[in-house]
Structure formats: structure tokens, C-alpha cells
């Protein structure tokens, strides 16, 4: 089924986050029947991107005009398959690759986002849940070393609103439940961010796509540098000031947290399959010993370890959040969490329970629906209100789509 869709709008990245949650009424007053019908049309278009049926439009108009329930009208728009097959697919696709491109095939990361929105799953589980969505009855079955399962759904025009089924990620990937971390341990994310490198990419792009902060906006040179790895020169170009005023600002916070990924790697044939199309995520479980490190830590954590031999040597997957203090305290870390832990699951929870995560999701949806970044005081107040509503409604991201469409449905 071919469905028309407006151009994808890239997420807007805010550099400042307000920790105060504001709750406010999200319904707009309606003055006339014609206005209500126009508003219903706009809500449907902003959510589904296709025209509603006459019966649906009538029902939405009644909800807005007679029942004063525009959010309920928006819920009807989220039931259109186009919302899942097009709107949400285009919304999540950029998060699955380093270029932020929407022009990528359906994959397990994107499908999991779509399924979680459809099922009103607590969206914070995106970064730490033992969860994955697969296609019910789709052949070939899910594979840890191929995207063919999701490609088949796309090729067949499968209705994702009906076909996607949640499964325990650990049951299909072989990664133990205690080591699953939502989309962070999906095949698509692993292929994009665990491939080659030093596993810092997984942390950096999670911050960028899910907390709306790239490294430049969390730069803080006041944090202790004791966990910066050996591959970072302390005198780039022979000038230690570069390290002290630049490198340390990212690595002092990033390296202690990226240590949570120390047992993960994306295994592929670099010579014959450089893009990793047949590769798979591997996890060094208890008892595994990497031949290079002599521990469970994967070899890439020792890349270029002669650059500064006195740097930090990674021996396990213990992570610590140095950004709970200093300027990045404003990211709004959850006081009920300890700020440290072992492995990707607890690290994902640390990130997902931050105010920055909730704010980021709301801002991305707002921009996608309203076709603009929050531009004035009213927009920013609405975003803050929706962050509060996001939490109040069990972190249902579908609810955020409804409320954003209502706010931008026009007077």
C-alpha cells in the first residue's frame, strides 16, 4: 500500500532543559462547527498524513465540538495504519543510523519504537527493557544476523499496526535478559553503533537521539579525568591545553558511562562484509574471556592503548555517571537511582529516567506534528505541560502525539 507522507522533519535539539513539570489544560476552545471540522482534518493529517474517511471525520468533529474532547479525536487518528507504517517509521528511522537518515529499511529498532507507541508501553523501557517487536507470521523469522525479517514486512506492505508482536528480546537474540537494554541491544543499533570503533558511538548517539544532547552541549571540563581511557592523548599535537580545555570536556563524562558497554561487540567479516549486513551482536557472558584483554572486556576497549599508557584500563562493565554533578546536573537525573551500576541495562535506565529523556521525546514529537520547533513562551509552556502529562500517563508516547496535534490543530 502506497501512502503519501510529508517530508521528514529532523529532531530539534535544545541545549537547556527545565526541571519543573507544568501541568495545564491541553484542550483548545472551539467556536464553530466549521472550525471543529477543519481542526479534525488538521489533527488527522498531522498524525496519519492521509485523509480520514467521512465517517471518521464526522466522529472526530463531534468529539471536538460537542464532547469537548479533542484529545479523544486525536486518538482516532492514531488508529490509522498510516500512522504506524509511515509517520512513526519516518519518525524513528533516523535514530537507527549515524547519518540520521530517514532513508533506511525497517529494522528491529524502528519496529520496536512503533510497537511500543501502539501499545502505550512505558517509553522509558526503550533504553533498558527486555523487549523487541517482530512480525507475527512473517517469513523469514527474526534473525540475529540478518534484517530479512523486517525487509520482508516492508516489501509486502505489511500493516504494522496489526502485525507487530512484542517478544522478550532475550528469547530471540541469545543475549541474557540481564544484559538486554531495549533498542540499545537491538541488531540495528548494534550494527550502527557497536561496529568497529570503541563503543563510545553507542553512548554518543543515544545521547543525541534520545536525550537531544550531542557532546558539544554536555561539554564540561570540571569533571575528574580519572576514567578516560588510554587511547586519548593527553597532549594532542604536543599541547596539553587542548586536552585540558577540549578533550576532557566530553571524555571525562562519556568514558565512565560508555564502560557499561564493555562486554558488547558487533561481530562481522570486515573484509567481505564491511557494512556488517550479515553481522550480529555478541555479548561476553559470565565465563567468557577475550583473548586480547584476558577478561570479559572486548578488545576494542584496548584500541590504541599505547597512546597514553597511564590512562584508565577497563577491566569490567562498571559505569558511573560523573554528570550527576556540575553543569549537566540540569539534565535532571533521577534521585531514586544510584548513578552507577553494571552493564548496559542499568545505564539505559539511568538515561531513560532523566528529565532530558522525557523532554527530548516530547520536543521531537512536537516538531514532527507542528512542523516547527517550540518558538515562543506559549510553545515552551505547552512542551513543559506535555512532559508532565507524559509522566502522568505512564510515559505513553502516543498520548504525546495526540496532545501535540491538538495544540497545533488551529483556533
Q: What is the 3-state secondary structure of 210-261?
A: HCCCCHHHHCCCCCCCCCCECCCCCCHHHCHHHHHHHHHHHHHHHHHHHHHH
Check whether the bond before 315 is cis (ω within 30° of 0): no
- Chain centroid to CA 172: 21
CB 314 within 8 A of CB 297: yes
Check whether the bond before 215 is cis (ω within 30° of 0): no
Assign 146 to helix, strand or coil.
strand
Contacts of 102 (CB under 8 A, 6+ apart): 8, 90, 93, 94
Neighbours of 410 (CB within 10 A): 11
**Residue that the C-alpha cell 552493564 belongs to:** 343
How far apart are the C-alpha atoms of 51 and 258, rounded to whole Å?
Answer: 45
pLDDT of residue 410: 87
Assign 175 to helix, strand or coil.
coil
pLDDT of residue 411: 59
Question: How confident is the model over 66-99, as pLDDT tens digits?
Answer: 999 999 999 999 999 999 999 999 999 999 999 9
pTM value surpassing 0.85? yes
Burial of 241 (0-12, 13-18, 19+ CB in 10 A): exposed
Contacts of 380 (CB under 8 A, 6+ apart): 374
pLDDT of residue 30: 39
CB 259 within 8 A of CB 344: no
DSSP calls for 27-57: ------HHHHHHHHHHHHHHHHSSPPPHHHH
**Residue that the C-alpha cell 560508555 belongs to:** 258
How far apart are the C-alpha atoms of 211 and 365, rounded to whole Å?
Answer: 13
Contacts of 214 (CB under 8 A, 6+ apart): 13, 204, 207, 208
Instruction: Pick the closest to residue 362 from 218, 211, 204, 213 (CA basis).
Output: 211
The parts of the chain modelled with pLDDT lower than 50 are 1-34
Question: How confident is the model over 353-401, as pLDDT tens digits?
Answer: 999 999 999 999 999 999 999 999 999 999 999 999 999 999 999 999 9
Question: How confident is the model over 121-156, as pLDDT tens digits?
Answer: 999 999 999 999 999 999 999 999 999 999 999 999
Burial of 271 (0-12, 13-18, 19+ CB in 10 A): exposed
Amino acid at each position: 500500500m502506497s501512502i503519501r507522507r510529508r517530508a521528514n522533519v529532523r529532531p530539534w535539539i535544545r541545549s537547556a532543559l527545565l526541571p519543573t513539570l507544568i501541568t495545564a489544560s491541553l484542550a483548545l476552545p472551539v467556536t464553530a462547527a466549521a472550525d471543529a471540522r477543519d481542526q479534525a482534518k488538521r489533527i488527522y493529517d498531522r498524525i496519519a498524513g492521509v485523509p480520514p474517511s467521512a465517517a471518521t471525520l464526522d466522529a472526530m468533529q463531534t468529539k471536538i465540538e460537542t464532547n469537548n474532547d479533542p484529545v479523544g479525536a486525536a486518538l482516532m487518528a492514531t488508529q490509522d495504519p498510516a500512522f504506524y507504517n509511515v509517520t512513526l517509521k519516518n519518525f524513528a528511522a533516523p535514530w537507527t543510523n549515524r547519518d540520521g537518515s530517514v532513508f533506511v529499511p525497517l529494522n528491529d529498532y524502528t519496529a520496536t519504537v512503533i510497537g511500543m507507541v501502539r501499545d502505550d508501553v512505558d517509553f522509558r523501557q526503550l533504553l533498558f527493557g527486555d523487549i523487541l517487536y517482530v512480525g507475527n507470521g512473517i517469513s523469514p523469522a527474526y534473525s540475529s544476523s540478518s534484517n530479512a525479517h523486517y525487509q520482508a514486512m516492508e516489501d509486502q506492505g505489511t500493516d504494522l499496526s496489526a502485525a507487530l508482536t512484542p517478544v522478550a528480546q532475550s528469547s530471540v537474540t541469545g543475549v541474557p535478559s540481564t544484559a538486554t537494554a531495549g533498542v540499545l541491544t537491538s541488531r540495528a543499533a548494534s550494527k550502527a553503533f557497536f561496529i568497529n570503533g570503541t563503543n563510545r558511538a553507542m553512548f554518543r548517539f543515544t545521547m543525541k537521539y534520545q536525550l537531544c544532547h550531542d557532546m558539544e552541549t554536555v561539554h564540561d571540563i570540571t569533571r575528574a579525568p580519572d576514567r578516560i581511557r588510554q587511547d586519548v592523548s593527553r597532549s594532542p599535537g604536543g599541547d596539553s591545553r587542548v586536552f585540558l580545555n577540549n578533550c576532557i570536556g566530553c571524555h571525562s563524562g562519556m568514558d565512565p558511562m560508555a564502560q557499561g558497554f564493555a562486554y558488547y561487540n558487533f561481530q562481522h567479516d570486515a573484509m567481505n562484509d564491511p557494512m556488517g549486513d550479515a553481522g550480529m551482536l555478541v555479548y561476553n557472558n559470565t565465563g567468557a574471556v577475550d583473548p586480547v584483554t584476558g577478561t570479559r572486556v572486548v578488545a576494542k576497549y584496548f584500541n590504541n592503548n599505547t597512546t597514553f599508557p597511564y590512562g584508565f584500563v577497563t577491566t569490567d562493565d562498571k559505569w558511573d555517571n560523573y554528570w550527576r554533578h556540575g553543569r549537566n546536573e540540569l539534565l535532571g537525573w533521577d534521585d531514586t537511582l544510584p548513578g552507577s551500576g553494571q552493564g548496559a541495562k542499568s545505564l539505559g535506565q539511568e538515561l531513560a529516567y532523566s528529565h532530558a529523556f522525557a523532554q527530548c521525546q516530547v520536543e521531537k514529537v512536537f516538531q514532527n506534528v507542528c512542523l516547527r520547533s517550540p518558538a515562543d513562551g506559549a510553545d515552551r509552556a505547552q512542551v513543559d505541560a506535555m512532559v508532565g502529562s507524559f509522566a502522568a500517563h505512564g510515559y505513553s508516547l502516543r498520548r504525546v502525539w495526540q496532545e501535540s496535534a491538538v495544540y497545533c490543530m488551529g483556533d
